[in-house]
Amino acid sequence: MRNRRQVAVVGVTGYTGLELARILLRHPALQPPVFYVRETNGAKCLAELFPQFRGWGQAALRPLAVEAIASSGAGAAFLATPHEVSAELAPALIKAGLSVVDLSAAFRFREAEAFTSWYQLAAPHAQWLREAVYGIPELYAGEIAKARLVANPGCYATSVILALRPLVQAGWLAPGAGVVCDCKSGASGAGKDPRRDLHFVEVDENFKAYSLFNHRHTPEILEHTGLCESQVVFSTHLLPLARGILSTIYVSLAEPQTAADIETLYRKFYAGRPMVRLWSAGTLPELQHVAHTNFCDIGFALDKSARRLVVVSCLDNLGKGAAGQAVQNFNHMLGIEEQTSLQ
C-alpha cells in the first residue's frame, strides 16, 4: 500500500504487547511501528530485547514520553499498558492529535463508579468514558470507524458477548431464566508478571476455577448483552495451556426452535463479519482451530425439547481477545478491510 501510516505502540513487554508487535510489523498499511517502554535497558530496537523479532526490520525502541510520541509523526497509538497508565496517557495523546486504541480496561465502562468498583482504581474523567467506543467491530463497526478512542474489550467478555448477542437481540431467551457462562482460559490471560499460581509446576496437569462471582469482565458482559446480574452465572477456569478461551454457555429458550432456525439467526447476524466463523448445527469448535488467529468460532447444540441450547465460543485470548481485535478495530478506523494483517 502507498502512503503507509506511522503508529506508536506503548507497552510491548507483556504478552499482549508482543502479539501486537507481531501483527503490526507485517501490516501492509503501516510503517514499522515505534515502540515505547518505560525502560529500554540500553536497547535501541525491539529485536535487542526480544530475539524472535530478529530479521523483522529495525523496529525502534524508545523510552516512554508523551512529548516524544506526539512529535514522532504517529497518527495513532496502541496502549498495551496497565489500566492506570492508560487512564492518563490516552487523554494526553488524543489532545496531541492522535487516535488511541487502548487494550486496558480504563475506558470500557460508561460509568466511573463501575470501573472504580471493579478495579479499585480512580476512573478516567467522565468526558473520556463517554467518548470511548467499546471495540467489538461485529457490533459497533460504525462507531469505531469514527472514534478517537476505542476501548478494546476483555478476552472473556468478547467470547461471551459474541455468543449471546444474537439470541438476546432476537428476544429468544426465556424471560428471567438463568444463563450460565462456563469459561476456560490459557495462562497468558493472566499476564506476564510472576505469580506463584502461574508457575509451570502449579499450572501443568492442573485445572481450577477462580474469581467466581467477582471476575472483572462481568460488567462488560452484562452491559453489552443487556442481561441482568441476577440472571448470569459467569465462571472462569485456568487451563494448563498458554493461550485460548473456550466458553460453554447454557441458555433456556422462550419458545421451541429448530437447529436450522438457530443457525439461520447466527448466520444473518454475523453476515459480512469475516472474523466470526459459524459452525453447522451439532459441530463444535475447539481451541486448536483458533490458536494464533483473530477468529471467534461459534457452534451450538440443541436438546430434544428444542428449548435448551448450549453455545460454544472459542477464540485466542491474545488474538481476537486482545491484540488481534485491537488491530481489527484500527483497520475500521483507517477505513480498510477489517481482516488486514489478521489472516
Looking at the annotation, which residues are catalytic? Answer: 155
Q: Yes or no: say if 256 and 307 are a contact pair by the CB < 8 Å rule.
A: yes
- Look up residue 258 and give its DSSP letter: -
- Cβ within 8 Å of residue 73, ≥6 positions away: 6
Q: Yes or no: say if 38 and 337 are a contact pair by the CB < 8 Å rule.
A: no
Residue type, 185: S
**Rounded to the nearest 10 degrees, what angle do helices 218-225 and 155-170 cross at?**
20
Among candidate residues 126, 70, 141, the one with its CA nearest the CA of residue 100: 70
Q: Where are the alpha helices (DSSP H) in the chain?
A: 15-24, 46-49, 66-70, 83-95, 112-119, 126-131, 137-145, 155-170, 200-203, 218-225, 259-269, 324-334
